[in-house]
Amino acid sequence: MGTVLLIVGCAMLFGAVSGWSEGSRLAPLPQAKPAPAPIQSGVYGFSGGKVPGADFAEGVIGECIWIFDQTSKRQVAKGTCSERDPGKFRVVLKPGRYIVRGPGGDQPIELKFGQWVKIESITLLPAGP
């Protein structure tokens, strides 16, 4: 008889603690909002300088490319080129129209969702003596 009381008592205690009772249903868990999708577009490429007649360009180290809005009035991003890989950059951008400014001048671009635009911004350096 003591065992039966213990089982009934545990069942009553469990029902009181959990809010569950015979005939009740579990409420569905609230659905979490999905995280916003990461930006899947941007610009990448090379930024540097080249002496006329040279076979290759020297890459920039540090800030090496600047991205402005389509009116070229407000800077919206910048690219950095590392010492490990001079001249190479990659900048994530939302789809839209931009002006990419680098050593080789300004380049207008239009990015669509999922698109990556390759930019080569190379200026010609004066030849040495």
Of the candidates 49, 45, 47, the one whose C-alpha atom is nearest the C-alpha of residue 123 is 49
Which helix (H) or strand (E) covers residue 43, if one does?
strand 42-50
Both tokens assigned to 34: 């999905």
**pLDDT for position 129:** 65
**pLDDT for position 8:** 45
Q: pLDDT tens, position by position, for the chain (129 residues)?
A: 554 444 444 444 444 444 545 555 666 667 777 777 677 899 999 999 999 888 999 999 999 999 999 999 999 999 999 999 999 999 999 999 999 999 999 999 999 999 999 999 999 998 766
CATH of 42-113 among 3.40.50, 2.60.40, 1.10.1060, 3.30.1370 = 2.60.40
Q: Is the distance from CB of 45 to CB of 119 less than 8 angstroms?
A: yes
28 conformational bin, left if phi > 0, alpha if psi -120 to 50, beta if neither = beta
Provide DSSP, 12-42.
HHHHHHH---TT--PPPPPPPPPPPPPP--E
**pLDDT for position 128:** 66
In which residue are the tokens 């890459």 written? 59
- pTM metric for this prediction: 0.68
Burial class (CB in 10 A: 0-12, 13-18, 19+), 104: buried
